[in-house]
A and B are shown apart, each in its own frame.
Chain A
């Protein structure tokens, strides 16, 4: 598949007779409150300008007027589908700065719950994306599987979506036998389901016609815009923070980073579908080798004060690279908290990537970016 920018066909009066089409913020074809101001030339997009901020909450200012422990629950409300990864980055940056050693059992459980969260997040994307493309049924299948994950995570964290399970130095509580057995059962259940999705959806000719060759994004474009996650991996670049800069205990597991070089919507689709299988592999290994021992570090100061300086911690969230920068002046309250979110960076390329596309194809492109709006607006 050649990676050329889509061109407006000859005959279309480029830029001569345009109109503005407002997509969102409340629109059936968009999820959440994303608004895109589209300048259209007939059916073709000449300019797409995302209008953001409808759900802006200024998390970064909130970070400057509460303690580290008080800010922790905020991080699970940025990308609400990827809460484990986001809290992981925040506890990670505090542990890095304070020099807290996390016990191995806690890190293993973090990996297991993070990968479960990744599958749950990809299942929501899978259902919603196909809904965008006009297929209703897969959503019901996906949510059925996702429900099993939410039940498992609810059992140990008490929450179904905005988990605040990771704490500085470890976990809120230990996992029980029910969770371990249930997760094993889920892995066994999920593998044939992925095969089913392959048969039911991936090979579908309508889906392929909607996705193959549509919305090409080159590796170079990803680099220039800082796009990460399944977007850059669908453009042939094996950038995965779990492999490039392994954090937690990820280097102890055997897993592949799915990469598809085509750069089209189909490639991004295939990356996420393959990633779910890889997450199952990681969970299986982590369960088999789950160490005994404490689930939280013995010496965690009750009041956290970080040494002055700035600290950075990146993780691979479901949508790509999420990073936290904390600037400390030695007090109980952070001097500055910066949240680098993947949806924000992935959306920046939309204006360039969608130029010259037809509207329904641009909706496929938007869906293939897997945006979570509070993750953009913060």
Chain B
């Protein structure tokens, strides 16, 4: 309960692994979340650890394919169980090298969210225990949420 948005913002700035990463307070009425941090792909574990230490829960993980820019964005959402704090952590990886570390060792709940993101985008989470298809058929060789996927529909 005691954690405030300003304290959390400061914690992001002081945390050794992610101190240089841009982190800003946003208007929750306009966006639906309170804090937004953009980190490098190798800093996601440090960001997850920081939020874990501050009592946050894993909300969800997903991707956004920015095909024109040749990048894929990975979006991590965290919520605080008892405080009105919603944090978004973003990172981008090049489309020709879709790899970044898993945060499932920090939040075991991230396991399935990362597996689903791998299903839909083909993003590989290094160190993940099992990236076999979760929602897609077991022999799926496609990633339907990539913008260059033209499937059914």
Q: Is A37 an interface residue (CB 8 A)?
A: no
Instruction: Identify the closest chain A residue to B64 (Cβ).
Output: A336
Select which of B75, B79, B135 is within 8 A of A53 by beta carbon. B135
**How many residues on the A side are at the interface (Cβ–Cβ under 8 A)?**
47
Q: Is A331 an interface residue (CB 8 A)?
A: no
Contacts A226-B59, A226-B60 given; does A60 touch B120 at CB 8 Å: yes
Enumerate A317-370 residues with CB–CB distance to B below 8 Å. Answer: 321, 323, 325, 327, 335-336, 338, 340, 344-345, 347-349, 352
A189 neighbours in B (Cβ, 8 Å): none
How many Å from the CB of B103 to the closest CB on chain A? Answer: 11
B59 neighbours in A (Cβ, 8 Å): 226, 321, 323, 340
Contact A245 B84 (CB under 8 A): yes
What's the Cα separation between A347 and B107 when bound, in Å? 15
Contact A56 B136 (CB under 8 A): yes
How many Cβ-Cβ contacts under 8 Å join chain A to chain B? Answer: 113
What's the Cα separation between A59 and B32 when bound, in Å? 22
Instruction: Identify the closest chain A residue to B108 (Cβ).
Output: A224
How many Å from the CB of A35 to the closest CB on chain B? Answer: 12
Enumerate A277-309 residues with CB–CB distance to B below 8 Å. Answer: 309
Contacts A237-B81, A349-B109 given; does A340 touch B135 at CB 8 Å: no
Q: Is B86 an interface residue (CB 8 A)?
A: yes
Instruction: Identify the closest chain B residue to A344 (Cβ).
Output: B112
B82 neighbours in A (Cβ, 8 Å): 237-239, 244
Enumerate A51-77 residues with CB–CB distance to B below 8 Å. Answer: 52-53, 56, 58, 60-62, 64-65
Which residue, of B60, B64, B84, B86, has the highest number of chain A Cβ atoms within 10 A? Answer: B60
Contact A93 B32 (CB under 8 A): yes
Q: Is B58 an interface residue (CB 8 A)?
A: yes
Q: Is B41 an interface residue (CB 8 A)?
A: no
- 27 A-B pairs within 8 Å (CB atoms) are namely A93-B32, A224-B107, A226-B109, A228-B57, A232-B81, A237-B81, A237-B82, A244-B81, A244-B83, A245-B28, A310-B31, A310-B64, A312-B31, A312-B88, A323-B59, A323-B60, A325-B62, A325-B75, A335-B64, A336-B64, A338-B60, A338-B62, A340-B77, A345-B58, A345-B109, A348-B108, A348-B109
B→A interface (CB under 8 Å): 28-33, 55-60, 62, 64-65, 75, 77, 79-84, 86, 88, 107-109, 111-112, 120, 133-137, 144-145, 151, 153
Besides the known contacts A58-B153, A312-B32, A340-B77, 10 further A-B residue pairs in the complex with CB atoms under 8 A apart: A53-B137, A60-B145, A96-B31, A225-B107, A227-B109, A312-B31, A336-B145, A338-B60, A340-B59, A345-B60
